[in-house]
Every structure is written in C-alpha cells, then in structure tokens.
A and B are shown apart, each in its own frame.
Chain A
C-alpha cells in the first residue's frame, strides 16, 4: 500500500489552480488536435511540446499527457460523426459508430466511446499504479548487460512481431540507431559521422526528427486526400449519458476483455491499432448475435475504444518503469523528459517521486476532467471541422517550425525538420514503418552506452549477455522473437509433417 500513499501525495502535488488550469488547456488543445484532419496523438504532442519547455517538469508532463488524452478522446468524435478515423486505432470505432450516427444515435455512440475510453484508460492507470513501482524497483538491480538485453528485446520484438515487411522494419530501426549516433560520442568524446559540419556536431535531435516525421509529413499526406466532409452534428444531453451509463454493467465482459487485450498489447509493442481491432473482433466472435455488428451496435463502439485507450495508456508503463516507450507517443513524452533534464528509467521512481506520482495522479484526474469536458463540448469541437484546411495547414507548419527551432535555438533544425518531413512522407507511402525509427532514435545512444559499458566490464566477451539467468533469458527471448516468423513457420511445418504420418 506504499503506492497508495504516494499516489495521494501525487494528488496533493496536482491540486493547485495552476495545474488544474494547465490540465484543462492541455485537454482542449488535445481534443482540438484530435479532431483536426491529419493530426493525431503523436503529432499533437510533438508540435505542442515547445510550449512546455519553460515550465517545471511536473506541470509540463501534466499538460503534455493531457494533450495526449484529449487527442485520444478527439479521435472518436470524427470517427463517429464523419466516418473519418482521426487515427489508425479509431478505424474499428467507425464500423459501428458511424452507423449509429446515421440512425440518429450519435449522442449515444459518442457517450459510449468516451465512457469506454475512460474505462480503458482507468484500468491501464490502475495497472501502472501498482505494477510500475514493482518493475522499477526490480530493474534497479539491472546492470548494463541487463539493460542492453531489454533494449535488444524491444528492438527484436518490433522486427519479429511487426506486421510490415521485415526488411523495412530493419531499415527503419537501423537508420534510427545510426542517426542517434551522429555527433559527439559520449564515451570517448570523438566525433562521429559529422563530415566536418559544425551543425551536425550537436547531433540529430530526436524531437526535431519527430516534428518533421509526424507533423510536416502528415500535412503532405492529408493534402493528397479529398478533404470534403459530410457529417452529423450532435449535442449530448444528460438523459442520453445516464441511459448509456445505466446499461453499462450489461457489457462488463466486453469492457473487461478489451481492457485486458489493450493493456497487454500496450506494454508489448503491439500497439493500440492491433488492440482496437482485436477488441472488436473478439467482441463480435463471442456475441450471440454476430450479424448485428457493423450495423450500429453499441458494443461495437465499446470494444475497440476500450482496447485502444487501455493500450495507449499502458504504453506509458514500460516508459516510466524501464525508460522504454511502448508507443510512438510514449517515445515523444520520453524525449520531453530528457529536455526537462530528467533521466528516464527505474531511477525516476527513486529520485523524482513527486514527478512520477504527479504524472500518475494526473492520468486519473486528466481522464475524469477529460470525460466531463468532451461530453459537454462535443458540438463546439465538431464544428471546428468547418474551418477550411487551407487556414489550418499553414498554422500547423508555423507551429512545427517554432517547435523545431525552440529545442536548440538553431535555424539548421528547421531545415532538418523539413528534410524529415519529406523522408516521413516517402517512407509512409512505401510502407517503411516510422515507429521503430522513432524508438531507435530516442533509445539509440542509451542502447549503445549499455552495450559498450557491458563490453568494457566483461573485457569484450559476448558471453556477458548470458552470464546469469536473468540476462540470459532476456537475450535468448530477444533472439527467439527476432526469428519468430521463421520459428513459427518451422513449427507449423513440423506439425503438418507429423499429422499426415499419424493419419
């Protein structure tokens, strides 16, 4: 129950007018970003990050995480009212959400979406509250070999379990790791891959890359689409909210199932997209009346939304406990931590108790405040879509430029951002995933340091990664995951060879 006491302390840190105000501002900005076409969670957090540079870390993370919750809530609005998923993980929400809106049950669908998002996040936050301190205190015993093994596990699981073509994931990841190494080498002080350029001396900043990859490239991609909208307006009345909530206990199995799927896929790098589809499909499979899915069934909104939000929230667990982000947005928040001078990882729980528990408490509060806020302000936000994209696009470009420049006060970074925008556009179109790149770029130098420190410790002997049970099993697991598709094929191949023999 130590966690509980610390959590109460966290609430005490938060309950000041200033923090609550920041929370509201963050949520509003987040919903705004979530509703706008072509912008979503990671982009919003990346673009608005510079606003927080001058704040103290606790206020900054509270505001940023609220932007994130807001964006998650906002994505559901466009999915249901306009059949436009704001994010890939809202795609499953449109299956039943939009038909409901067409039948005039938009308010019901929205309430269901917001409520289930809230429940999903809440389950994940509870998990974080009790699991994160345990994992981090366990991880305090980790030495460099263990850390490298965990990083290796993260990278390998992306390659082995990702849905994209394997070589494309490898390209994206190795490119990220390489770019993370540009600049001054932290161990020897030597310059690497700078080619005599004084601008590259600082290295390639993670956030600059992210703003380009997610902000600029997203605008380019959005412009390719037809931007016409036809949607329903909706106001939510208290009566509808209460009637949906009254029926909520009937769906407890769906909600629980989706929460568990979401939490699991959020911690492992499976991600919110997989979680939302899996939540939806399982709800459909276990339903007695499968035909009615896709025609406006409220469960079809509950299932994917709960899973997506549970996953989006629990992605923060490995980030807090181990310093390894479980999603793109978590990676950006991690980048933020470094800007504010905090070192992510298990030590965070020891050295910055106020910060960590403030953040966890803000997840609870942010979700409650967010739920109330979206339920009351949906009509206003839906009408934001009337603002022409020609006015929104240049404003986003300017915000991106401000963000990129503010990080290091360098004009070169604005050009770098533009370059990454083009790279992101091309990569997305030919199917090179950006998430492994982001992850590699933010973890690169720490993975390398862990590798070199363990090599120095062992005198260059690779056996150090199998030197005890813990590090040995993590390393082995990493290698198994890396070759998982091959192993999977081999097992099913063997199975096929055995079965005909029996028959």
Chain B
C-alpha cells in the first residue's frame, strides 16, 4: 500500500494569526478569578451563617456543611491570590490573543443570541437561525447550503424530540401558528 501522500486536507482560512497581540495575560485573569471566587465565598458563607451554621440538639444545622466549604473556598482563593502575586513568571503568559478572542466571540455572541431567541421564538426557530446564520456569516458557506443544512438539522431535531420521543422544547409563535 502506498498512500503516503496526504489525502484529506481541510483549510482554515479564518484561523487566528500566531503573531496577534495579547489582550490579557494569564496572571491578570488568575487574580480576577480569585477575587470573584473570594467574593462568592463571602456571599455564600454569609448566607449560610444566616441559615444557621452551628449545632443544635439533633446535629449540624443546614448551613453547617456549606458554611465550612465557603471557608475552604475562600481560603483557597486567598492562597491563589497570594500565589498569583508571588509568581511573576506564569503571570506574563498570554491568556488570549486578539485574534483568538475575535474567533471565540464569533461563537459566543451567536450562542448568546441563540439563547435569547430561544426564549422568545422557541428553540426550533432559533436553531434554524443560528445554524443558517453561523454557516453563512462566520463560515462563509454558500447561502443555499446553509439554509438547507439548517432546515434539515432543525427538522430532524423536531421529528426526533417532539414527534418520536415526546420531549417538549420551548416553542414560539411559529409553532403556535402551525398548531403544534
């Protein structure tokens, strides 16, 4: 057998460039996350203290277990905060470059819009819009291919979940108009 030559080649024209400038360093994200976790630990710890984190006649009160977990979480985030300030070496590493962030946002923003659309238009309409829109706008795939793929996928989902398995999804005005 002599199939040493490459036979499957897929290109990625919109790939992030390697020399793109960093948006934020890992050290900064580390500190921010530690601070957020610390804040979360404080809020949850306070809430559990209010619920009751001591002992009564039968045993630990409902807040006991989570209260001490918040203490552990708070302690570990404080330690993380300290460690992030001490070690400057890791801190300089790139968390995400501008080109990478652009690509990540190209998925995240449509996903966010999709969730919003699901809330008001129902899941099936939203998924048709997401797939068709994403393929056309981000993937630069021909419009008819995008629309067709989106329609087939959405229809397949509808048949699988709504018709065959009776799993009810959020629905909107279109389904109502069609009487489903």
Interface residues of A (CB under 8 A from B): 50-51, 53-54, 81-82, 102-104, 106-107, 165, 167-168, 170-171, 174-175, 177-178, 181, 185, 187-188, 190, 192-193, 195, 216, 219-220, 223-234, 382-383, 385-386, 388-391, 393-395, 397-398, 401-402, 405-406, 409, 411, 414-415, 418, 421-422, 425-427, 429-430, 432, 448, 451-452, 455-456, 459-460
Contact A228-B69, Cβ < 8 Å, known A54-B166, A220-B104: no
In the docked arrangement, what's the CA distance between A231 and B51, Å? 59
The main secondary structure of chain B at its interface with chain A is helix
Minimum Cβ distance to chain B for residue A330 (Å): 23
3 A-B pairs with the lowest CB-CB distances in the bound complex, closest first: A390-B139, A233-B7, A226-B15
**Interface residues of B, Cβ cutoff 8 Å to A:** 1-4, 6-12, 15-16, 26, 29-30, 33, 37, 40, 44, 47-48, 51, 55, 58-66, 69-70, 72-73, 76-77, 79-80, 83, 95-96, 100, 103-104, 106-108, 110-112, 114-115, 118-119, 123, 127, 130-131, 134-135, 138-141, 149, 153-154, 157, 160-161, 165-170
Contacts of B83 in A (CB 8 A): 165, 167
Closest beta carbon of chain B to A172's beta carbon, Å = 9
Q: Which residue of A lies closest to B72 (CB)?
A: A174
- Given A401-B123, A405-B169, A460-B59: A224 and B103 within 8 A (CB)? yes
Q: Is the CB of A456 within 8 A of B3?
A: no
Check B66–A178 contact: CB distance below 8 A: yes
Instruction: State whether A223 and B106 are in contact (beta carbons under 8 Å apart), knowing that A233-B7, A385-B8, A394-B130 are contacts in the complex.
Output: yes
Distance to closest chain B CB from A291 (angstroms): 22
Q: Nearest residue in B to A226 (C-beta to C-beta)?
A: B15
Report the bound CA distance from A178 to B66 in whole Å: 6
Q: List 9 A-B contacts (CB under 8 A).
A: A165-B83, A174-B69, A178-B73, A229-B8, A388-B10, A393-B107, A425-B104, A432-B33, A448-B65
Interface contact B139-A232, CB-CB below 8 Å: no
**Contact yes or no, B161 A402, CB < 8 A:** yes
Nearest CB of chain B from residue A463's CB, rounded to whole Å: 15
Chain B nearest CB from A386 CB (Å) reads 6
How many residue pairs at the A-B interface have CB separations less than 8 Å? Answer: 220
Contacts of B80 in A (CB 8 A): 167-168, 171
CA distance A169 to B112 in the complex (A): 29
Chain B residues whose CB sits within 8 angstroms of the CB of A427 once the complex forms: 33
Whether A185 lies near B62 (C-beta < 8 A) is yes
Question: Assuming the A-B contacts A230-B6, A233-B3, are A192 and B62 also in contact, with contact meaning beta carbons closer than 8 angstroms in the complex?
Answer: yes
> Are A216 and B111 in contact, with the CB atoms below 8 A?
yes
Partner pick for B12 among A177, A192, A227, CB 8 A cutoff: A227
Given contact pairs A178-B44, A398-B153, A430 touches B66 in the complex (Cβ within 8 A): no
Q: Among the listed A170, A388, A406, which residue makes an inter-chain contact with B139, where contact means beta carbons less than 8 Å apart?
A: A388
In the assembled complex, which residues on chain A have CB atoms less than 8 Å from the CB atom of B107? 219-220, 223, 393, 397
